[in-house]
Amino acid sequence: MAGWTLDDIAWQRFDASQVDPEIVKVVKAAALVEYGGAGYARYLCRVFADDAEFQTRMERWGREEMQHGEALARWAVLADPEFDFAAAFARFQGGYRLAEDVDGSRRGSRCGEMVARCIVETGTSSHYTALLEATREPVLREICRRIAADELRHYRLFYKNLGMCLAREKLGRWARLKIALTRVAESEDDELAYAYYAANAGDATYDRRRWSRAYMGRACAIYRPHHLEHGIAMILKAVGLTPNGWLGRTLARLSWRAMRWRAGRLARDAA
Ligand SMILES: [Fe+2]
Ligand SMILES: [Fe+2]
C-alpha cells in the first residue's frame, strides 16, 4: 500500500471557511475516477498475464488508487454533507465502464500500455499538485500532497517497467509519441466528463459536450505554467525525448497559451 492510510490524515483540521464550492465539484469527480482504478489494475494484470511480479505491483497500485478515491470522497462529504458517494459511484459505473474484458492490449503492445500509463500518472500528478496549490483548505492540501507524491511514484513504476518492456519489444519514439498524444486527447473522452456529471448533476440528463466543457472549465482554472512545464517534461521522458530542452520549453509555452485560451472561452460560454 501507499505509505499512508486514511487514519494518518488530520481530519480534525478541516476548515469549512476555506472551502471553494467549485473545487468541491472537481474533487467529487476525481474521487469517482480514482475509486474505479482497480478496473485498470485488473486489465493490466491480463495484459501482463505471464508476469506474476508485475501483477503483484499492479494489485498494490490498484489499491492505492482506490485509497485516493476514499480519501477524496471523505473530504467531499466534510465539504458537502449531502454528497452520497456510494450513489454517485453507482451512477458513474452505470454510465461509464472501462472495456476491461478485452484480449490483449488496447495499445497494441506492452510498451504502448506503459507509455499510456505514464501519461495518465503525469496527468494525475500535475492535477493534484495544481489542486494543492489552488486550495487553502488544510485537509484537502494534505490529501493532495500525499496523492501527488503517490502519482509521481506510480509514474516512476510504469516508466521503469517501460524500460524493461523496451528491452524485449521494440517501439520507436514516433510510435510512443503517437500513443502519448492519443492518451492525452483521451482525457477529454467520457470518463472525466461522466464522473463530473455523476457527482454533480442532480437530476439532469447526460450531455457529453455540456459536461465535458463543465469539467474542463473547472479543471483548467487551477493550472499554472510550472505545472505544464513539469508535466510536459514527464511526457517527453516517457516518449524517449529530452525532457528539459528547447522542445519541452516550447511545448510548455504553447500548451499554457492553449489552456488559457480554452479556459477563457469556456468561462465566456458559461457566463
Ligand atoms: Fe490516483
Ligand atoms: Fe496513480
What pLDDT, on a 0 to 100 scale, did the predictor assign at position 77?
98
Percent of the residues in the chain that have a pLDDT greater than 70, as a whole number: 96
- Cβ atoms of 132 and 139 within 8 Å: the answer is no
Of the listed ligands, the closest to the CA of 68 is 1
Label residue 103 by pLDDT band (50, 70, 90). low
- Give 78: exposed, middle or buried? Use CB within 10 Å, 0-12, 13-18, 19+: middle
- Residue 34 pLDDT greater than 60, yes or no: yes
For the chain, the residue count is 271
Tell me the average pLDDT across 192-214. 88
Task: Report how far ligand 2's centroid is from the alpha carbon of 149 (Å).
Answer: 9
Q: What number of CA atoms fall less than 13 Å from residue 58's CA on the CB side?
A: 21
Q: What is the mean pLDDT of residues 72-87?
A: 97
Count CB-CB contacts under 10 A for residue 88: 23
Q: How many angstroms is it from 65 CA to the middle of ligand 1?
A: 4
The mean pLDDT value for 16-38 works out to: 95
- The predicted structure's pLDDT at residue 61: 96
**Percentage of residues in the chain with pLDDT exceeding 90?**
72
Q: How far is CA 182 from the centre of its chain?
A: 15
Query: Ligand 2 centroid to 154 CA: how many Å?
Result: 5
pTM higher than the cut 0.85: yes
Torsion region of 13: left, alpha or beta (phi above 0 gives left; psi -120 to 50 gives alpha)? alpha
Segment of 95-109, 127-141, 164-178 carrying the highest mean pLDDT = 127-141
Dist CA 148 CA 247 (whole Å)? 25
Q: Residue 118: is its pLDDT beyond 90?
A: yes
pLDDT at 121 over 70: yes
Mean pLDDT of 86-105: 80
Q: How confident is the model at residue 101 (pLDDT cuts 50, 70, 90)?
A: low
Say how far apart CA 76 and CA 30 lie, in whole Å.
Answer: 10
Q: What is the pLDDT of residue 265?
A: 81
Q: Which ligand is nearest to the CA of 61?
A: 2
CA of 65 to the centre of ligand 2 (A): 6
Which-ligand-closest: CA of 155?
2
Tell me how far the alpha carbon of residue 187 lies from the centroid of ligand 2, in angstroms: 15
Candidates 245, 241, 120; CA nearest to 189 is 120
Distances from the Cα of 197 to the Cα of 118, 120, 227, angstroms: 26, 21, 26
- Residue 58 — pLDDT band, cuts 50, 70, 90? very high
Please determine, for residue 1, whether its predicted confidence score (pLDDT) is greater than 60.
Answer: no
pLDDT in tens, 212-243: 888 888 888 899 999 999 999 999 999 999 99
- Model confidence at 84: pLDDT above 60: yes
Q: DSSP letter for 11, please.
A: G
- pLDDT for res 98: 67
Residue 217 and residue 253: Cα distance in Å, rounded?
20
pLDDT at 104: 73
Tell me how far the alpha carbon of residue 172 lies from the centroid of ligand 1, in angstroms. 28
Cell 477529454 locates to 188
Q: Which ligand is nearest to the CA of 117?
A: 2
Nearest to 176, CA basis, from 109, 243, 232, 122:
109
* 3-state class (DSSP) for residue 170: coil
- Give the per-residue pLDDT at 209: 85
Q: In this predicted structure, what is the pLDDT of residue 102?
A: 64
Distances in Å between the Cα of 44 and the Cα atoms of 62, 65, 66, 111, 224 are 10, 14, 16, 12, 32
Give me ligand 1 centre to Cα 229, in Å. 20
pLDDT exceeds 80 at position 269: no
**Angle, alpha carbons 169-158-37 (nearest 5°):** 120
The whole-angstrom separation of Cα 79 and Cα 63 is: 24
Mean pLDDT of 23-28: 96
Give the pLDDT score at 264. Answer: 82
